[in-house]
Chains A and B, each alone.
Chain A
């Protein structure tokens, strides 16, 4: 039931279905029956947040416990926030409608840097102080997970706990511990000191950070129970990990409105710009049987007519063939589509394209990332122009007439020649279409290329690199435009201002907390949305706080500098990253993990086990 206060404002806002709850398969419990109430907050709108797989997993995992109740919370859109503030409605959980300030745990997922201001705004809308130190009671404990947690130091002052790594096990551990401390009536500090002893729990207030006069980090010192290094948590066996048997079926349309199943975690490729490729290691696969079972159960209970297989590189899933056979067995009969995102151009086979074609023809996307072979070697994309063109040829042969190509601009060692080559490569793909004797008659080709500014990220071999300035990126974008020779090619550019801020916060330190607070107070929120993004306010906030953003984004770091995230351990060793950094600057590639283990070190997280390691050993044995 919705409160009358809420019912009176819902007719006045856009898409009120986002704020009501009550969707099919949402979980409603009795508040008095549970010991721990958990508000899972996604710091963006309902449509974005509901599309995220992580929230579905944690929601189902927590609600599988009899003693806990997880509810969903999203950032209200501007119109709804205004009405909520006008009418004194505090941010509430969608399942109960109760204010989340009375919950025990408030968990944010930090998926991208541009959502940081939303976290502050949501805490404030909940009626809570934004700074962790000002929330003195034991509960609510404000925690955060997600990829950005590998360096969410700019958010350190606002969060009580961060959870580097995978959330399934550690969430349960934390709920167990909080339950005990709630019953004991512990203070928040007592609880945090115990929490810091759990593997994969990072309590930022238990680390003291000192800075040098040149603004670099001088030292990061753990206090009391905090470990020297917080090692990220992983789930060892993916076939045994909790996965939802059903999804909430939203009434309003969301971005990814379909069944999603996970194929594997980690990636064998080692592209040097890709943070996901490093922080999710070691590689662990789910069996085709498990994935098939997951898909079937979810389709059955939701009525979804599309399945999407999720991983960092779908065609690297060793059981793809087997899985597709199993899936097609029932999806074709039930008229369910299969979507395979993240395909690689080098192992895109004719069989695979035919398989996909017999389900439904959607767009095809390849990511060469760079225009020249030299540049692709630097970033270790390990894909040749021939492979890209041959993939395009196969796609055109199978009847596709539109292909998307993703590129980055502003990569380390990049020259103008590399940029012009982006346009040239797109042209070669167009030529490939017209060379194909089997091309569909009466149809033209559309090659859309997307160029995104490169943002150096922590825990990648490029974590020491400087990011291109906005002016330089705009010049490079223009250079691509000027080099285009065909109207068959369309170009999408990414907002360079946003990439700049992303770059600042991705490798920022704790002093940026003040900037986020200042910008939020100036009204910055929903920064990932073009219509809400206000660069001037952000720039003024840097000035107000006496901080030079270029220090974080554009500065090239020396290899021995202490980095703000050095006290976190994501498995991959720094020496491996240095090795890769040096190889990049020598235009040298590293083979993928199944070909030859590069010794990244992430297997130590899994007791020395790594799916790719086993295969690479077997492969070398065969060859030897």
Chain B
């Protein structure tokens, strides 16, 4: 048995598939590709296939890591090609690598957010991002109960840039990601919307990459 990390790009209408949809979809793709899978040895044997970090529905991505356990001696390139031959529209395996870091090491994610423009957008967004105070309500759990938590997105951000381009406003931003602290780009938009009083309608959001705590590439 060996573990490989599949890096998946998710583009176009495939972005409307949820995390659960993607797990089912990848399992089927792996079966179609006739990849020799390792199965758990319990009462109900099943393959091991794990997404490192859920991607919010509606967000495109260039880099979704999925760890899969394999049998046999297929090379990483063979696994990539076999999968790409059977992937549905919008989903492409960019590479298959031997995992170095653990999914738990993910600390940040970098996003490109393309917004429909509005008057004074760049200035308003910059001011809000610089303010250090971007309150948002996050649905969380306390034990078994669902609770609403107050968070400050400004404390969950890394570097960022805002620019106006053609007929859109682009925000490039690093947000906390992972099982400890996680801020989705939608939460950021909600917070920006509350602070600026403007409707933040996005044309496209792309997850560009996942980062470790030291901002190095995952």
User: Which residues of A does B touch, CB under 8 Å?
Assistant: 1-2, 7-8, 10-11, 15-17, 20-24, 249, 251-253, 257, 300-305, 334-335
Contact = CB atoms under 8 A, between A and B. Distances in A.
B32 A22 contact: no
Contacts of B201: 8
A15 B17 CA distance: 8
B196 interface: no
Interface string B178-215: 00000000000000000000000111000000000000
Nearest to A248: B88
Given A17-B16, A17-B17, A251 B32 contact: no
A305 B88 contact: no
Nearest to B58: A11
Given A251-B14, A253-B20, A22 B28 contact: no
A249 B21 contact: no
B21 A251 contact: yes
Contacts of A252: 17-18, 21
A22 B14 contact: yes
Interface residues of B, number: 27
Contacts, number: 63
Nearest to B87: A24
Interface of B: 12-14, 16-18, 20-21, 24-25, 27-32, 39, 45, 57-58, 86, 88-90, 201-203
25 contacts: A7-B203, A11-B58, A20-B13, A22-B89, A24-B89, A249-B25, A251-B14, A251-B16, A251-B21, A252-B18, A253-B21, A300-B32, A302-B28, A302-B32, A303-B27, A303-B28, A303-B29, A303-B30, A303-B32, A303-B86, A304-B28, A304-B31, A305-B27, A334-B31, A335-B45
A1 B12 CA distance: 8
Contacts of B45: 335
A296 to B, nearest CB: 13
Q: Among A7, A251, A300, A334, find the residue whose CB has the most chain B CB atoms closer than 10 A.
A: A251
Contacts of A22: 12-14, 88-90
Contacts of B88: 22-24, 249, 251
A334 B25 CA distance: 17
A303 B31 contact: yes
Nearest to B17: A251
Given A16-B57, A252-B21, A21 B31 contact: no
A2 B29 contact: no
A334 B39 CA distance: 12
Contact of A17 (B18, B39, B86): B18
Nearest to B32: A303
B30 A16 contact: no
Contact of A10 (B16, B27, B90): B16
Contacts of A1: 12
A617 B98 CA distance: 67
